[in-house]
Amino acid sequence: MDKVVDKVTRIASERGVVIFAKSSCCLCYAVNILFQELGATPFIYEVDKDPEGKEIEKVLMKLGSQSALPAVFIGGKLMGSTNEIMSLHLAGHLVPLLRPHGVCN
């Protein structure tokens, strides 16, 4: 399990915005579209295409994601899932979080 934790941490910290998602998940798609509309190009890591996908989902829950997917990281920090991201956006806090990472207009 430590190997999977290291893998998640590495992937999450390699880019400004990382979304752990499933290719068939409509909420994952919606969060991705939100970021794109804000001018960000998130890195989408599709866990259903990874043989360790189930373990990755468990790690994301242990790290504090309210639901396993989507799990959004900004600057290597877990920001949460759909509800947390939408709440940040509606409160006007999402874009300021993105700017230091050069991923938002």
- Residue 6's CATH number: 3.40.30.10
- Please tell me the predicted confidence (pLDDT) of residue 67: 81
Task: Please give the Cα distance from 74 to 102 (Å, whole number).
Answer: 11
- Please tell me the predicted confidence (pLDDT) of residue 104: 62
- Please tell me the predicted confidence (pLDDT) of residue 101: 76
**Which residues are 71's β-sheet partners?**
20
Number of domains in the chain: 1
Please report where in the chains the tokens 């804000």 appear, as a residue: 38
- Please tell me the predicted confidence (pLDDT) of residue 81: 94
- Please tell me the predicted confidence (pLDDT) of residue 65: 83
Domain region containing 54: 2-101
Given a cut of 50, the residues of the chain with pLDDT beneath it are none
- Please tell me the predicted confidence (pLDDT) of residue 8: 96
